[in-house]
Structure 1
């Protein structure tokens, strides 16, 4: 055979092997991961991280594709720590159990349906076994059912917080809290899993983990960004099935848990600086931290003219009031209706990009959270909104921050098992319990639009011609299509945080002036 032809044939035969090798070891190919992580990790080899994972199961399937753009670059991790490459030929393997053995560094872990018997080494999880959920569609009905479940859970949390909290304003992201607890349910079995599904109101929703995956993809097309991460203590034995399901459905890639500063920096970056100093410290003996962050920045479809913003009265109750900066527009296009049963006015302030701020303003008196929790239904709200018409509107400028450990709140809601003796066998063979569920959020309303952020870790006169938001009100930030409640809250005093800071400054001043 001609020598040049022989060389060409040899190169063609050898080429696939070199390509596969380069994909498995990007550090040797000169290529880089698609996204560079914003949080650098300490040097670690593939073998080190896999030594903390329990053995994969048999019956491998193709690896799930990487999370879509919009989930947040801070959710990414270098390929050499958690490779996503699928081998060209399935590896031969013998039957394995969930005993704590290391994963071979040369064989990427396969993707699987959550909680399948093969993936978990025993037990199964309702409709999500097998391929029944592989085509789960993000239809209006399914997403609104999921949005309704999240609204119901969020209102229950808000009602519990309102009954116990001494803070004037409450700000909560049901999306963030539910994402964390739903991801936790991936690792739960038996009574613990059933309790979580029941309390999250997803028991009747088939394939809800798949719905969350598609919901994240849908929300990423709006002005909303969601980032997730799983932090692991070095040496902690975590089951591969839980890690793969966390990545596939919630976009959570693993990172080594080095300290609280790293966690706080990740949250600050993921929320564009809105959430700072998220955690003061890490819980004692923490081995795993489920973390997510939500950031929204939207522009009103109709902006408020800053020239009309002026100091005006906000009535705290029938006896007292405060002066606040009030955004005002004489002819604001507003969709507004009255609910005589709840004795409230409901208005919708749309943003550009399929999000709306819905404000519920009582005719008189306090915000009745219990009544709203029983009756508030996003789908019914949207069906009642009439065509927009010009209305004189006044809305307070807001800059509200809220931080709360949700341990007592969730315990009061019947989820105390999480903090005492949960069954989290799908995470690890070690006995585990939830140390804390911490939530922090912020919201700013101004003339051009709104910016809001939240992070969760698991260690509104009767007159129809005017709409003056000048007394305590309830609000929710909703995705217009899925009706997912991204934020819920109650504002009783727009100046609560400002007054607190002024009082503190005054006391410090007086202390300095007091003679010794």
Structure 2
């Protein structure tokens, strides 16, 4: 992660909102129409899905901050794309059954909804989000990679394609699967997440289930670069330092209650926004570790148009990194999926499987023009019953012996089979 320690907790980069008009520096003759309502009414399942995603987002944030920062309130940056993690796990959930399925549904906030209802909600949300603002780019993509000669379960492959638009790719080695996913993720995120899988793949890797999300939005009211000046930034721990700070006046929403101060900055037509929350009396990490849907909702409902003379001052910053989410997800309520007793009968045809890892690569850039954010989430599944492979692809020792008496007839070392 970047070493820049932010004095605000960015807890809602992508929010559906209904917003007012505004223009930015240099845009005095250009006005983007405001989005005042969604193009269609959300179904009950879709509304539940939005609530489920937001609940999952805050739970994942709490779990991640708690694990990374502990009780010390560490000033390490944290960046997540909960919607990317949700899509990757939602795709994977199509292979689950029984207790494993129930734990995943509860963790993702879906309760007892049917597989078809959940899949339809993911499909419709993926279609809706990119359509809301022509000036903002939202890209959601999914894919599945399987180790040949194994095959994805037929029903799983059908659902993956129908509801997630996820084609199934077959490759001959775990390394080729890793390389292909890294290249795909780099393309889908326009290079913002160039490599999400960095370690050596497990030898019994059978499948990778992947989501990528890209967001690129221009501020509705841009910051004037001429007003960006060095200002003192005071981290939770360590010495204060000078950092480029952007500044603009008016045309934003704000909230303050003595405990936190918050602002909402709009992108494009107002469909998307960035919400920033700065706790006044505790470290941002400690605040994020206890932030729940009730308090988050209270802040959003309290947002009001700021005084037109009010300034918002925000650091220009970039945050990026890679996280392993397995321990967070186990703590959130889905431990069985990561054990040999996991139930994934619809994942890999004819084989029992368990989840090995959930790797999450993320990046966010914020400047005077707007924001770019990207994430790639990879769920790695291994085969539980797969026999080990004994490959003598490195130098080896050998013996030829008579087995009944144990007599060794020949012995040697092969360092180079070409000799």
Unaligned runs of at least 5 residues, structure 1: 1-136, 460-516
CA distance in 2, matches of 1:432, 1:318: 44
Q: Residue 412 in 1 paired to residue 326 in 2?
A: no
Unaligned runs of at least 5 residues, structure 2: 1-39, 70-74, 381-419
- Counterpart for residue 166 of structure 2: 252
The alpha carbon displacement at 1:381 in A equals 4.2
- Counterpart for residue 159 of structure 1: 62
- Residue by residue over 1:358-411, the C-alpha shift from the partner in whole angstroms, topping out at 9 and shown as x without a partner, is 111112321212331253444x54433223542211100011012111112222
Q: Does the CA contact (< 8 Å) of 1:148 and 1:377 recur in 2?
A: no
Of the three residues 136, 140, 144, the one matched with 1:230 is: 144
- Counterpart for residue 170 of structure 1: 78
Q: Residue 148 in 1 paired to residue 51 in 2?
A: yes
Of the three residues 388, 413, 433, the one matched with 2:354 is: 433
Give the TM-score, by structure 2 length: 0.72
- Counterpart for residue 320 of structure 1: 239
CA distance in 2, matches of 1:347, 1:356: 10
- Counterpart for residue 278 of structure 1: 196
Q: Does the CA contact (< 8 Å) of 2:106 and 2:333 recur in 1?
A: no
For residue 415 of structure 1, give the secondary structure of its aligned residue in structure 2: coil
- Counterpart for residue 77 of structure 1: none
CA distance in 1, matches of 2:333, 2:112: 19
CA distance in 2, matches of 1:164, 1:303: 36
Considering only CA atoms, is the larger Rg found in Structure 1 or Structure 2? 1
CA distance in 2, matches of 1:405, 1:370: 18
Q: Does the CA contact (< 8 Å) of 1:224 and 1:295 recur in 2?
A: yes
Q: Does the CA contact (< 8 Å) of 2:65 and 2:289 recur in 1?
A: no
The alpha carbon displacement at 1:140 in A equals 6.6
Of the three residues 342, 346, 353, the one matched with 2:262 is: 346
Of the three residues 217, 236, 239, the one matched with 2:127 is: 217
Q: Does the CA contact (< 8 Å) of 1:233 and 1:286 recur in 2?
A: yes
For residue 284 of structure 1, give the secondary structure of its aligned residue in structure 2: coil
- Larger RCO of the pair (alpha carbons < 8 Å, separation 6+): 2
- Residue by residue over 1:16-63, the C-alpha shift from the partner in whole angstroms, topping out at 9 and shown as x without a partner, is xxxxxxxxxxxxxxxxxxxxxxxxxxxxxxxxxxxxxxxxxxxxxxxx
- Counterpart for residue 227 of structure 2: 308
- Residue by residue over 1:173-219, the C-alpha shift from the partner in whole angstroms, topping out at 9 and shown as x without a partner, is 00000111111111111111111111111115561211111000001
- The structure that is strand-richer by fraction is 2
Q: Does the CA contact (< 8 Å) of 1:339 and 1:346 recur in 2?
A: no
The alpha carbon displacement at 1:318 in A equals 7.4
Q: Residue 182 in 1 paired to residue 90 in 2?
A: yes
CA distance in 1, matches of 2:45, 2:253: 26
Of the three residues 362, 377, 381, the one matched with 1:456 is: 377
CA distance in 2, matches of 1:237, 1:441: 30
- Counterpart for residue 250 of structure 2: 332
CA distance in 2, matches of 1:299, 1:387: 20
CA distance in 2, matches of 1:140, 1:259: 38
The alpha carbon displacement at 1:320 in A equals 3.2
Aligned in 2, Cα 1:274/1:204: closer, same or farther, shift over 3 Å?
same
Q: Does the CA contact (< 8 Å) of 2:62 and 2:291 recur in 1?
A: no
Aligned in 2, Cα 1:318/1:171: closer, same or farther, shift over 3 Å?
closer
Q: Does the CA contact (< 8 Å) of 1:271 and 1:454 recur in 2?
A: yes
Of the three residues 344, 348, 355, the one matched with 2:272 is: 355
The alpha carbon displacement at 1:158 in A equals 1.6
Q: Residue 239 in 1 paired to residue 136 in 2?
A: no
Give the TM-score, by structure 1 length: 0.59
CA distance in 2, matches of 1:319, 1:227: 40
Aligned in 2, Cα 1:399/1:283: closer, same or farther, shift over 3 Å?
same
- Residue by residue over 1:316-361, the C-alpha shift from the partner in whole angstroms, topping out at 9 and shown as x without a partner, is 13773222110012x2311111245xx2112110100411001111
1:101-120 superposed matches below 5 A:
none
RMSD between aligned alpha carbons? 2.0
1:259-270 superposed matches below 5 A:
259-270=177-188
CA distance in 2, matches of 1:319, 1:265: 38
For residue 208 of structure 2, give the secondary structure of its aligned residue in structure 1: strand
1:36-185 superposed matches below 5 A:
139=42, 142-165=45-68, 168-185=76-93
CA distance in 2, matches of 1:315, 1:377: 25
Report how many aligned residue pairs link the two structures.
319
Aligned in 2, Cα 1:350/1:141: closer, same or farther, shift over 3 Å?
farther
The alpha carbon displacement at 1:142 in A equals 4.2
Q: Residue 364 in 1 paired to residue 291 in 2?
A: no
The alpha carbon displacement at 1:238 in A equals 2.2
